[in-house]
Amino acid sequence: MQRSKAHHPARHGDSDGQGRGDVGGDHSPQMARMVAGVRAAGLKLTPQRLAIVRELAEDESHPTAQELYERLRPTLPTMSFATVYNTLDALTAAGLCATLALSPGSGRFDPNMDPHHHLVCDHCGSVRDLPSPAPAGGPPRDDSVRRAIARVAPGFEVRSVERIMRGLCADCASASHRQRREKKQ
């Protein structure tokens, strides 16, 4: 499974004592957007919450709550799984990330709130974002899709459109090809 591009463990001094958190200058635009959103939602930015936001914002793998908990536990040993899960739930409720059910098992969390689709590997479960040209939250532009929606669900209002493409990632496809070649020999 694809891992984080950058791992930023929680650091001492991340909080200013008033729950606003010091996010420092080494964060991504995604991190800055999420921290601003946490503040705008009136959520206290504790050191634990900041570490969770930082880890999620820097991770393109769409991690589960358990994966985030396991990554952060070495640097935050007193943090509970409930804290991670409740923080992710609050981020989702604030519109700062989305919960995805792309395959059997635990839900995954996606900090990318721009319109996009997902590529899901059937073998390893990795998830990659594929940018979408469709406007966010807009109805389908295709007349045939709009007519089909009106026929099967009159009055249905489309909130968003997402496509999930399933197959094999490059690593799994390469391994699969190797295994087939070895079986033929």
Query: For 116-154, what is each residue's pLDDT tens digit?
Result: 889 999 999 889 999 876 554 456 667 888 888 899 999
Q: What is the pLDDT of residue 135?
A: 56
- How far apart CA 27 and CA 134 sit, in angstroms, is 28
Q: What is the pLDDT of residue 13?
A: 36
Burial of 31-46, coded b for 16+ CB within 10 Å and e otherwise, reads beebbebbeeeebebb
Q: Which domains does the chain show, CATH number per domain?
A: 1-111 (1.10.10.10), 114-184 (3.30.1490.190)
Helix ranges (DSSP H) in the chain: 29-40, 47-57, 65-72, 81-93, 143-152, 170-184
Q: What is the pLDDT of residue 177?
A: 79
The answer to whether residue 39 scores a pLDDT higher than 50 is yes
% of residues, the chain, pLDDT over 70: 81
Q: What is the pLDDT of residue 28?
A: 85
The answer to whether residue 48 scores a pLDDT higher than 80 is yes
Could you give phi then psi for residue 44, rounded to 5 degrees?
Answer: -70, 135
CA distances from 147 to 63, 103, 141, 156 (A): 36, 29, 11, 11
Q: What is the pLDDT of residue 138?
A: 55
pLDDT band at residue 4 using 50, 70 and 90 as cut-offs: very low
Task: Check residues 162 and 62 and name the one with the higher pLDDT.
Answer: 62
- Highest average pLDDT, of 111-115, 139-143, 179-183, comes from 111-115
Give the pLDDT mean for 40-62: 94
Reported pTM: 0.72
- Highest average pLDDT, of 9-23, 80-94, 115-129, 163-177, comes from 80-94
- How far apart CA 52 and CA 56 sit, in angstroms, is 6
Structure tokens at 17: 């004592």
The answer to whether residue 60 scores a pLDDT higher than 60 is yes
Q: What is the pLDDT of residue 65?
A: 96
Mean pLDDT, the chain, rounded, equals 82
The answer to whether residue 19 scores a pLDDT higher than 70 is no
